[in-house]
Structures are given as C-alpha cells and as structure tokens.
A and B are shown apart, each in its own frame.
Chain A
C-alpha cells in the first residue's frame, strides 16, 4: 500500500486554517442542500396555506395570510369538485397495501426457490426478470390495455395491482437474492437435518433473517405504487375507482382548479409513504443496498 502514496510531511501550521475552510464549505453545501431539497415541498405549503390558492401570482415568499382553511374544507367535504377525495384515498391505500404485500410475497418466494434451494442459478432468474425492463413500462401500457381487456380485468383495481407488482418485483428479487448471500446456507441445512420442512425453513429462518431486505423491498414497492399514475389512469375508468394520483391529474387539467385544495391533497397524499419510510429507515438501512455492497 505504501508504494502507492509518496510520503509527505503534514504541514501542521495549515491545519487550523484548513479545518475552518472545510467546516465553512460544508456548512455552505448544507445550506444549498437544504434549499434544494425543501423548495418544492415549501411551495406545496405556501399554496396550501393560502386562503385562495393564488399567491403564486404575487411576489410573496412567505404565505401572507396562512390558514388551514383548505384542509378544513377537504375534511368537511365542502368543495363541490373534490367531494370524492376520501374514497380516492381509500382506493390508493388499497392498491398500495396490496402491491406492497404481494411484491414482498412473490419476491421472497422466488428468491428463496432460487437463492436457497438452488432451483437454477441466481443469474438465470435475475436475468429473466430483468427482461421486464426491456420495453419501458410507459410504452408497454398500450398493449397492456388490450391484454387486460382479454383477461376481463379492465376497470378493475386488480389490473393496476398486477401491473405494479410485475414492475416492482424484478428489482425486489435482485435485492433479495444479493442480501440472502449474507446469510450462511448452513443454517438451512441444519434446520433441514433437524427435520424442518421447506415451508418451515422459509417461514422461520428465511423470512426473519431477511427482514431488513424485506422492509427495503416493501418500502420500494409502496413508493412505486404511490409514484404511479399512468397505469391507474389507463386501466381504471369508472369514478368509484379513482385514485388520488388520478384526482390530482384531473385538477391539473382543469384551468380553474383551486390550487390550494390541490396542494392540500398533495400534502396529505405524501404523508403515508413518508411515514412508512421514516418508521422503517433504521431497520432497512442494511437491506437497501446489500447487493451493491457485496459487488
């Protein structure tokens, strides 16, 4: 190692100055990161807290008359156009929860069969699963419409759930396969010799030990469902299936849309994934990138 680095005496006198410079520049960088990360979020509050939702046409940087009126109106269902927003929240949560659960289930089953039981080589499954990404999902939606019609799933939330699980699972399998390599296979062997069945090994050894990776994959799937708009918009037609993402887009298309309500809905819609992510953050820290670390 020492051959790589020519020896250099450290000039001690410059140490203090350098430290001050480093601290000052990291403080400046920190300030830039803070503004960069929070500006669109702040803008949501700026509009949502405005009584009319039109302060974007003023020069205000602070909300001049902050009020929770928009949230109250949503809560009391006072606004004509958005009376259906609570059922839409129900639909989004229904889809989000099922996509999360099914992605974790399907991904963990497949990764167990390949990674632990060695049905085939790891790379065969992950390579096949990666084929999912060959055609961008935004293009695949057009043939998807026709295929869903054949399956009789048009205008059915399960069509959206199936599509989102399909696109979330390949990445989930990838993360799970690589995280599973951190767990010695001898554990499975020992349990098998003690007479545990395959299902018992999966339930009592694989799932508990994979918990951080499962948390990461579940959060990823929830965010995926929450980010999606195209599949919900294309596959769901009737009003009773409207999700929050679709409702927001309808607002967007409407020129007279009251933006303070829209941003209030946006803030409420953002809360569930943020809450889940920050609740699981510590837990999944090791799961998120286990594959990459080993690389």
Chain B
C-alpha cells in the first residue's frame, strides 16, 4: 500500500485525468483475454438468467393488445396511471430541488450542521417497510395520530383523516418517498459541491459576487450534469417504488391512491390475472425507455468529457 501511495504522490494531480490505455491493450489476447472474460462471466450470467430471460418472458406475457384495451377500460387503471405521473413527477422533482438547496445548507462549515447531517441521513438508512409502517400508523388513527396531535397542540387545528381522500392519501405517499430518498441525493449533491474548487468561489468573492451569483454562475453549471443524471436515476427508481403506496396509504380509499406498480401487483395476485398485471407494468415503458436511453447517453458523453 505504501508503495502505491508513493506512486500516487509522485505523479501528482496530473495523474487523475483520463487513464491511459494499459500496456497490454490492443493486443488483449491469450491469458489476458481469457481472464478478462472470466471476470465478466459472473455478471453476464446473472444478466442473462435474471434480466434477459424474465424480461423476454414478461414482454411475451404482456404482448396481447387486448390486455391494453382491457386496462384502458378499467377506471382503476386510468386513475393509477394519473397517480403514477403525479407520484413520480412530484416526488422526484421536489426531492431533487430540495436536495440541491439543502446540500448548500449542509455545506456550511458549522459543527452543529455537521451533527444535524448525521440525523438527516437517518431516513435513508431506515429499511422501507418499518419506516413506511410508522408513517401509516401516524396517519391512520383519526382524529389522533402524531401529526394531528402536533397540529392540535401547536396550532389548535384539527387534522384531516389523511386516507379519506385519494389525492390526500397519494400526497402522503409522495411525502413518505421524499422523506426516505431526499437524504441520499442531498449527500450526492453535497459531495458534488465539495469537489468544486474553492478557488472559484474565492475569485468570485474578490469580484464581489452575490450569493445568488455564486450559485448561478459557479455551483449550478458545475453541478448540472450531476443533477440531470441523479434526476434520471431517481425517476427510474421511483417508477418501480411500490413501498410507499403499499404500506403508507395501502391504495385507499378504494384504489384511489394506487400507482401502476402496486395495481399490477393487485391484478396479478388478488384478481389472479398475471398477464394483466404485467401489462399494467409494461405500460410505463413509453416513458421509461426514453429515460434510460437519455441516461445512457449522458453517461457516454460524461466519459468523453473525462
């Protein structure tokens, strides 16, 4: 290890550019070729066995056009599709914007802010099921429950029955998702901010830049790529996130706060119609495929920049 550190130290910061090709590149053959293939085989095997095969099977299950006609004629599906757009659109964008702003707050050099960050990360490390069950239990007990008790104690307002109305229940699910995942993105943006050279801010200060100008002309352009990539990854994850809906609102009242991932689950299990469940899930592909392609493209251009 010390020898390695010596090499790292001797080379200085110039070394951290794009790695040059190894000496044996270009004639990767013989044992090297075999080794490199052997190293990739475990992942390739997983990918074929547990991604390609189930995916192909799923596409085949959901290939009958009649399934989609059936879906569109089901008001529960239409509601769930609208809910999914709201769930993903609101949860992702609100948590990204707040995470970007909060990362600026947490970048302040104060001891108590560092301590607060430790607590702020807690929701991300809590497992989904217990955390969302706690949300459910806080909100389900009308007219009491912790939020309503606080509202009553602090402001003398009587809180609503949170799961009585579809939009309100969906709002609770969105808040729960934001609560759990915002700390991760705040950490990501915080490390992004830390990587920006302090010299830039110092010279901006010399020029008398306002805090807004510092953000608009230094932080924002340098974090833009990270922000876009994080938003795309978060969008992909949130489309598949069933847990808030399943455990916080449970889809109540009467399927009014379901999203497509949980509705597909109900179709497959409760209504014993697995192909319809798969079709409900596949109907997000027109949105998800462009997002994945955009993400691939972003990562590729990022590599070129390096």
A: residues with CB less than 8 A from B are 1-2, 4-10, 26, 29-30, 33-34, 36-44, 46-47, 56-61, 105-107, 109-110, 112-114, 116-119, 121-123, 125-144, 146-147, 151, 162-163, 165-166, 169, 171, 173-174, 181-190, 192-193, 198-199, 202, 205, 208-209, 223, 226-230, 245, 248-249, 252, 259, 262-263, 265-267, 269-270, 273-274, 277-278, 285-286, 288-289, 292-295
Contact = CB atoms under 8 A, between A and B. Distances in A.
A277 to B, nearest CB: 5
Contacts of B42: 105-106, 109-110
Nearest to B121: A277
A187 B265 contact: no
A144 B54 contact: yes
A192 B118 CA distance: 42
Interface residues of B, number: 127
Contact of B58 (A5, A122, A143, A286): A143
14 contacts: A33-B102, A37-B120, A117-B35, A121-B303, A134-B289, A138-B240, A140-B54, A140-B281, A142-B58, A181-B306, A273-B127, A274-B126, A289-B187, A292-B229
Which of B50, B118, B243, B302 counts the most chain A CB atoms within 10 A?
B50
A292 B192 contact: yes
A160 to B, nearest CB: 11
A130 B209 CA distance: 41
Given A131-B51, A192-B24, A269-B127, A117 B285 contact: no
Contact of A59 (B20, B21, B118, B144): B144
A110 B43 contact: yes
Interface string B123-164: 111111111011111101100111101101100000000000
Interface string B53-65: 1110110010000
A202 B207 CA distance: 48
Given A129-B43, A140-B54, A182-B16, 17 more contacts: A41-B122, A41-B123, A109-B39, A110-B42, A123-B300, A130-B299, A131-B51, A136-B239, A140-B55, A146-B54, A163-B50, A184-B8, A189-B23, A223-B124, A248-B133, A266-B129, A270-B126
A64 B183 CA distance: 32
Interface string B7-39: 110010001101111111100100110011101
Contacts of A127: 296, 299-300
A130 B299 CA distance: 11
| Interface of B: prevailing SS | helix
Interface stretch (B70-78, B89-97, B108-116): B108-116
A278 to B, nearest CB: 8
Nearest to A226: B127
Contacts of A7: 207-208
A33 B128 contact: no
A267 B126 CA distance: 9
Nearest to A285: B191
Interface in B234-277: 236-237, 239-243, 246-247, 261-262, 264-265, 268, 274, 277
Contacts of B288: 133-136
A263 B131 CA distance: 10
A294 B223 CA distance: 10
A153 to B, nearest CB: 10
Nearest to B8: A184
A26 B149 contact: no
Given A56-B137, A189-B22, A273-B127, A40 B179 contact: yes
Contact of B39 (A113, A169, A190, A252): A113
Contacts of B282: 135, 139
Nearest to B115: A30
B211 to A, nearest CB: 9
Contacts of B15: 184, 186
B261 A136 contact: yes
